[in-house]
């Protein structure tokens, strides 16, 4: 089994998630792709922090709360940043 994880772009939108994350969040991937992450208090997520208490709203309108650790992913893409979120289970 893989650790539940998702990747967001620099706009905090989900661009990739694995099956374990879908199962942990209780939603299929098509309901979560392109959804925006926020802290549970409504502010943008902290990058490279110990743990974020996050929230996203699936395409069907369901608010989903979860905790995850954020890590910056370094790429050669100009002006693009990506963040790996490993869900706390």
What is the Cβ-side half-sphere exposure of residue 62, based on CA atoms within 13 angstroms? Answer: 11
Give the right CATH number for 5-87 from 1.10.286.10, 3.40.50.620, 3.30.450.20, 3.20.10.10: 3.30.450.20
Element (H, E) at 32: helix 29-32
pLDDT of residue 8: 95
pLDDT of residue 64: 97
Is the Cα dihedral 68, 20, 77, 56 positive or negative?
A: negative
Average pLDDT of the segment spanning 63-80: 90
Q: Which residues pair with 68 in a beta bridge?
A: 52, 87
Q: Which range among 4-8, 21-25, 36-40, 49-53 shows the weakest confidence by mean pLDDT?
A: 49-53
| pTM over the 0.85 mark | yes
pLDDT of residue 34: 96
pLDDT of residue 49: 66
Q: Which residues pair with 67 in a beta bridge?
A: 53
Say whether 31 sits in a helix, a strand or coil.
helix
pLDDT of residue 48: 62
């Amino acid at each position: 089994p893989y650790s539940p994880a998702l990747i967001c772009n620099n706009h905090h939108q989900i661009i990739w998630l694995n099956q374990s994350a879908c199962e942990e969040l209780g939603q299929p991937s098509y309901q979560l792709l392109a959804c925006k992450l926020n802290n549970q208090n409504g502010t943008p997520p902290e990058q490279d922090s110990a743990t974020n208490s996050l929230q996203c709203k699936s395409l069907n309108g369901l608010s989903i709360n979860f905790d995850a650790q954020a890590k910056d992913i370094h790429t050669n893409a100009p002006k693009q940043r990506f963040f790996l979120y490993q869900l706390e289970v």
